[in-house]
Structure formats: structure tokens, C-alpha cells
Amino acid sequence: MNDFPPDAPNTVAIPLSAAPSFPGQSALQPHQQRVIEERDQLAERLGKLNLFIMNNPAYKRLDDYDQMTLVSQASVMGMYLMLLEERIRRFK
């Protein structure tokens, strides 16, 4: 059981994965490296937001609407992170 409003989505915690390596490819293209850097930054921010939601007493002092918007933000960030992961998996 969580302390989130009943209609709020669950937080999304996605582990930071290492950059992929491809046989025969010595280096990533600049745009691919930027996607990986963006994924890493997003994963760090999402992790911090999830920690705030789960562990920080200040979160519990927020009203229900503000709590819900932070949980929704974490959910959307998680979806964005999954999309970046999918793009990275398709690098060739």
C-alpha cells in the first residue's frame, strides 16, 4: 500500500543502464551520445524525484493535488526514459 492519492499513478523506477556496445562499431555518433547523456540525466532526476516522493517528509506535507502532480511527473518522466532506452537499443 502506498500513501499516494488513489487515482495517482505509481512512481516509475527504472535502473540506469550502461551504454550499449555494438560489434564492429568503435564509437557512437554524436547524436547517439547526446541521447545516452540525456537518458543518464533523466534517470538521475527521476531517481531523485522518486526518493523525494517515497522518503522526504516534505512530500507528505504537500496537499493532495501537489502530491498527485509530482507522482504524475514521475510517471511521465519514466515513460520518457523508456522511450530513450528504446532508441538506444536500436542504435546500429
Rama region for 24: left / alpha / beta (φ>0; ψ in -120 to 50; rest) = left
Domain boundaries in the chain?
30-89
pTM > 0.75 = no
On the question of pLDDT at 1 being above 70, the answer is no
pLDDT higher than threshold 50 for residue 38 = yes
Band of pLDDT at residue 27, cut at 50, 70 and 90:
confident
Would you say residue 4 has pLDDT above 70? no
Segment 46-81, tens digit of pLDDT: 999 999 999 999 999 999 999 999 999 999 999 999
Residue among 9, 2, 20, 7 at smallest CA distance from 74: 9
